[in-house]
Amino acid sequence: MDLCYLCGGFILTCMTDYLNELNESQREAVLYNEGPSLVIAGAGSGKTRVLTYKIAYLLDNGYEPWSILALTFTNKAAREMKERIARQVGQERARYLWMGTFHSIFSRILRAEAEALGFTPNFTIYDATDSKSLVKTIIKEMNLDDKVYKPGMVQGRIGNAKNHLVLPEAYAANAELIEADRAAKVPLLHEIYLRYWNRCRQSDAMDFDDLLLYTYLLFRTRPDICDKYAARFRYILVDEYQDTNFAQHSIVLQLTQKHQFVCVVGDDDQSIYGFRSADSSIMLNFKKKFKDAQKFTLSTNYRSGKKIVEYAGKVINNNKTRFKKKFEAGREEPGELKMGIYSDELEENLAIIHWIKDLHDKKEVPYCNIAMLYRRNVEATTILPLLKKADIPISIKENPGNIHNHFVFEAINAYYQLSQAYDPEEDRISDGAKVYLAKILNCPSRYIKTEFFKDCDLSPKSIKKCINAYFETTPYNVRRYRDMLNNLDELKETLSRIRRMSPKMFLKTIVNVDFEEWVKQSAEYRGLSYEMAKAVLHDIISEGNSFDTMEEWIDYIGDFQEFLDDCANNPDGVRLSTFHGAKGLEWDYVWIRNVTYKNVPFQRSLNENGDAGLEEERRMFYVAFTRAKKEVEVSCIRMPGMFLGELIDKKKIMLIDDNQQIPFSEIEKYGISSNVS
């Protein structure tokens, strides 16, 4: 019987019989509270509903709100769950739940117990920028090359050590870690870690990774404090358990080792954050840590049409390290899958734009129900200007792949800015343009490091001084010396010619100074696809050629940046997102672009991580695929990636070599049609 009641002057909503809203598997998972439980929740299977209703059920069966700890990975997830619970049990009871992200909950505990660790309760929490700044300072103090000891890389390796509960002393004593650093040409990384650790403690500060590490250390060194919180939290629930790292998992074990009232919910098939130290094996081995744990599998997908569920299963079933599941569709709609191979990126882009316009104009689908997904941010680069030109509103949360932020455009812009600052008569450039000179001279095709030319002004005296300084530290042969002089003479001549050119002539001149070769070398140096970089160059040329003057082009670039800024918070646009950024979201119509050989799966991931990398890449594709409710479009350029082959059981696609190109007219022989229904 439903009850309405008053509490503290507030009228609380009537509690419905929420258990009747659950299917059999969901209900079993909610009702079991006799010990540890593992809920494997496939895509669209009602994971959040189960977690929410389980907490409501605990509250309705003798648990006080403050005795329940629910750990999530995002503040948004915590807010949404709390709002749902409040609708079931009332706002007053829900407000006292311990519910939040690992970092927010553990920072709360650490502030209460800070003195036990030698910190004050008001310790500072460094964000990523603060942390990176400190790393930069230490690298500079140690007189290390920040091109070798890249601050972001160093920060990541230190964070990874902390997430595996490795302290500085243990790091320095670990032969395997030291050898890995030596092989990576960063043998002093352990010293940076130690200095960083000590500097944080001296400043009464922790970074985000410390919030996990110090919580673990607190519970390990002070069992009395660990017992206090284990007794307080009679029941612990963890959302998205497949994304936990070793530190998070270890703390959960500390808090539950005695009472073992813990429920973890997640989907091992959606574990895609290996680069953040997430470890899917933690979830896979849950029953080894909790031997009496009951396992519940939610395999009914209520999000996607039948065909989408079927084909998603075909792909993910190729992974070996996973829980086996039988996928079922909870919707009657059949769903659609369409695939196409395109001759180049422009053809693919135009097809996507036509698809969006057709959905919106002919089928009256709101733009916000459409998404275009891709493996890497850079893949949005070339389509953004076309979307703007087509007046298609977009929504993009991640840093977009703007061609004007691409290294190819930055080099072209450096030539232009330098040409405007160069005085041929005086043979000098203005001080404000020195940064552009350094950028141009620091190309792989030139033999000069940036630091030697940061003060150069192109005068003969300045050039000689810089070159002499260069040879004092890097003695190359006479040919290299002559090449440097020739390159600088060539540069001055180029700058003199392009100062007043139209965009078309300007770009033609730049390309004629072996610029494409520079693009190739620069892409290789950065570990990027030359084909993608070349496509960006062609897009820049196409864009520039549409303007009569450089001033008009520059004005357009400013307008385009405003367009992107407006897209950041546009709830009514087509969503552009990476696979990672799409996790947890859904749309009616989804286009997955550039599922091309060596891109999806991403070759670098395979090279670095082998079979484990391949399985994570497949999980990423699976996540992207299962975002769709009604229709999935999958496309590639020339050479299909292996996941397209898995969709239709054609193994031939896996055997295509690097140099082979597939004309659109011949795709049938590979078993792929432009329309699979």
SS3 readout for 375-428: CCHHHHCCCHHHHHHCCCCEEECCCCCCHHHCHHHHHHHHHHHHHHHEECCCCE
Predicted confidence (pLDDT) per residue in 194-232, tens digit = 999 999 999 999 999 999 999 999 999 999 999 999 999
State yes or no: pLDDT of 15 exceeds 80. no
How deeply is 133 buried, as exposed, middle or buried, from its count of CB atoms within 10 A (0-12, 13-18, 19+)?
Answer: middle
With bands split at pLDDT 50, 70 and 90, how would you rate the model's confidence at 432?
Answer: low
* Alpha carbon distance 323, 538 (integer Å): 46
Say if residues 242 and 620 touch (Cβ distance below 8 Å). no
Higher pLDDT, 217 or 520: 217
State yes or no: pLDDT of 14 exceeds 70. no
Chain centroid to Cα 481, Å, comes to 43
Closest CA to 310 of 326, 288, 294: 326
Give the amino acid at 425: E
Q: Which helix (H) or strand (E) covers residue 546, if one does?
A: none
* Alpha carbon distance 372, 268 (integer Å): 24
* Alpha carbon distance 43, 312 (integer Å): 10
State yes or no: pLDDT of 652 exceeds 70. no
State yes or no: pLDDT of 338 exceeds 90. no
State yes or no: pLDDT of 546 exceeds 70. yes
pLDDT score of 660: 44
Kindly state the average pLDDT of the residues 311-327.
92
Contact residues for 12 (Cβ-Cβ < 8 A; gap 6+): 4, 5, 6, 90, 91, 92
* Alpha carbon distance 267, 253 (integer Å): 20
State yes or no: pLDDT of 128 exceeds 70. yes
Helix 478-498 / helix 460-473 crossing angle, nearest 10 deg? 140
Kindly state the average pLDDT of the residues 544-549.
88
- CA torsion through residues 622, 627, 628, 634, sign: negative
Mean pLDDT, the chain, as a whole number?
Answer: 83
Kindly state the average pLDDT of the residues 226-246.
94
State yes or no: pLDDT of 101 exceeds 80. yes
Transcribe 57-103 into DSSP letters.
HHHTTT--GGGEEEEES-HHHHHHHHHHHHHHH-HHHHTTSEEEEHH
State yes or no: pLDDT of 382 exceeds 90. no
Predicted confidence (pLDDT) per residue in 148-177, tens digit = 898 989 999 999 999 999 999 999 999 999
pLDDT score of 436: 74
Buried b or exposed e, range 650-659, using 16+ CB within 10 angstroms: eeebeebeee
pLDDT score of 69: 95
Kindly state the average pLDDT of the residues 561-572.
82
* Alpha carbon distance 130, 173 (integer Å): 28
Higher pLDDT, 632 or 90: 632
State yes or no: pLDDT of 418 exceeds 70. yes
Least confident of 239-243, 252-256, 540-544, 570-574: 540-544
Higher pLDDT, 57 or 520: 57
* Alpha carbon distance 549, 509 (integer Å): 15
Sole residue written with tokens 């996928």: 327
Kindly state the average pLDDT of the residues 394-401.
79
pLDDT score of 428: 66
With bands split at pLDDT 50, 70 and 90, how would you rate the model's confidence at 318?
Answer: very high
* Alpha carbon distance 123, 120 (integer Å): 5
State yes or no: pLDDT of 640 exceeds 50. yes
pLDDT score of 482: 53
